[in-house]
Amino acid sequence: MDTDTRTPVTVIGLGAMGAALAGGFLKAGHPTTVWNRSAQKADALVARGATRAATVAEAVSASPLVVVCVLDYAAAGAVLTPVERAMSSRVLVNLTTGTPREARRLAAWAAECGAAYLDGAIMAVPRMIGGPEALLLYCGSADAFAAREGELASLGASRYLGADPGLASLYDLALLSAMYGMLGGFLHAVALAGTEQVAATELTSLVVPWLDAMAADLPHLAGRIEAGDFATDGSTLDLNRAGVDLIARYSREQGVDAGQLAPLRALLDRRVAEGHGADGFASLIEALRRR
C-alpha cells in the first residue's frame, strides 16, 4: 500500500489495546509513529514499519492526529501534561477508559493547549481492531471527527455521539454494565447446569438464541421506562420475584453460589414491599434511581 499519501498518525500507549490500534493504522497504510513508557513494547510495531519516537513530544509533533490509549486518565494526564506546547493544532483522540467527568476535564485541558479533542470508547477487544466487528464510539469536536473520520475508520466502525466530551465514557460505562450483567448471569447458568452434567457448550447453544430473543425485546422495555408505563404486560414483579427465588433455592441445593442474583432480588423485594408487586419489570427502574 502507498503510505506516502496517507495521513501520518501517532499512537501513544502500546499495551494490548494501543498496540492493536497502531497495528490497525499500519495495516491501513498510515505512516505511524509510536511511543510507550516501556520502549520495548514498540519493537514488534517497528518491525512492521512503525517509527519509534524517543519522547512523547517527538511523538506528538510527528502527526496531526494523536491517539492516546493508556491504562487510565491519571496515566494519560501524566503522559500528556508535559507536552502541552506540542499539542497545539493537533487532533487529540483519547481512547483511554474513564468517567465522563475525567473526559470533560481532559477536553478542557486540550482546549487550553489549542488542540481539537475527541474522546472515544472502544467496544471491542484488541484482536477485533481493524475489523468490522470493532465499534468505536466518539464524542467531542464535530469538526475534528468530520476531518479525521477516514483515518479513524482504520480501527473499526465509528459512531459519533455528540459534542459533549463525556458522552463516549457515559455510553461505555453503561454498555459495560449491561455486558457484565449478561456475563455474570451466563457464568451462574453454566455452573448450575454443570451440577447435572450439562456441558457449558451444550447449554450455550440454547443460551445464545434465548438471550438474542430477550435482547430483541429491550427496545420495548426501554419505551415503557421512558413513558413511565409500569403496568404489567406479561409478567409481574411478584412473578419475577418468585422466579428469582426458585433459581436461588435450587442453586443452594446444588451447592452453587446464588450471590449473583442477590442484587436483583433486593430490588424486587423493595419494590414489592412498596406495593408494586403487580407492576411490570420496567417498574424496577424506580428502585435503582433512588440509590
Ligand X SMILES: NC(=O)c1ccc[n+]([C@@H]2O[C@H](COP(=O)([O-])OP(=O)(O)OC[C@H]3O[C@@H](n4cnc5c(N)ncnc54)[C@H](OP(=O)(O)O)[C@@H]3O)[C@@H](O)[C@H]2O)c1
Q: Of the candidates 51, 63, 94, 96, which one interacts with ligand X according to CB under 6 A?
A: 96
Tell me the residue nearest to ligand X as measured from the CB.
Answer: 15
> How many CB atoms are closer than 10 A to CB 41?
17
Q: How far is the CB of 77 from ligand X (least distance, A)?
A: 9
Q: Binding to ligand X by residue 69, rule CB under 6 A?
A: yes
CA quadruple 67, 31, 151, 125: dihedral sign: negative
Q: Binding to ligand X by residue 136, rule CB under 6 A?
A: no
Q: Which is nearer to ligand X, 134 or 282 (CB)?
A: 134
Q: How far is the CB of 12 from ligand X (least distance, A)?
A: 8
The DSSP call for residue 72 is S
d(CA 200, CA 193): 8
The torsion angles phi and psi of 87, rounded to 5 degrees, stand at -75, -20
Q: Binding to ligand X by residue 173, rule CB under 6 A?
A: no
> How many CB atoms are closer than 10 A to CB 123?
20
Q: Of the candidates 51, 97, 154, 283, which one interacts with ligand X according to CB under 6 A?
A: 97
CA quadruple 251, 253, 256, 260: dihedral sign: positive
> How many CB atoms are closer than 10 A to CB 142?
14
> How many CB atoms are closer than 10 A to CB 163?
13
Binders of ligand X in range 1-20 (CB under 6 A) = 13-18
Q: Which is nearer to ligand X, 156 or 280 (CB)?
A: 156
The residue type of 131 is G
Q: Which is nearer to ligand X, 17 or 115 (CB)?
A: 17
d(CA 231, CA 58): 61
Size of the site for ligand X (CB under 6 A): 22
Q: Binding to ligand X by residue 59, rule CB under 6 A?
A: no
Q: Which is nearer to ligand X, 65 or 258 (CB)?
A: 65
Q: How far is the CB of 73 from ligand X (least distance, A)?
A: 8
Q: Which is nearer to ligand X, 17 or 144 (CB)?
A: 17
Q: Which is nearer to ligand X, 125 or 288 (CB)?
A: 125
Q: Of the candidates 80, 113, 115, 122, which one interacts with ligand X according to CB under 6 A?
A: 122
Q: Binding to ligand X by residue 63, rule CB under 6 A?
A: no
- Per the DSSP assignment, residues forming a β-bridge with 159 are 137
d(CA 282, CA 244): 16
Q: Show the site string, 18-57: x = touches ligand X by CB under 6 A, - = not.
A: x-----------------xxx--x----------------
E strand or H helix at 159: strand 157-160
Which grid cell is 218? 429491550
Q: How far is the CB of 255 from ligand X (least distance, A)?
A: 33
Q: Binding to ligand X by residue 152, rule CB under 6 A?
A: no
d(CA 138, CA 142): 10
d(CA 190, CA 207): 10
Q: How far is the CB of 218 from ligand X (least distance, A)?
A: 22
Q: How far is the CB of 92 from ligand X (least distance, A)?
A: 15
* CB 165 within 8 Å of CB 102: no
In the block, which residue shows the cell 497504510?
29
User: Binding residues for ligand X, per CB under 6 A?
Assistant: 13-18, 36-38, 41, 69-72, 75, 78-79, 96-97, 122, 125-126
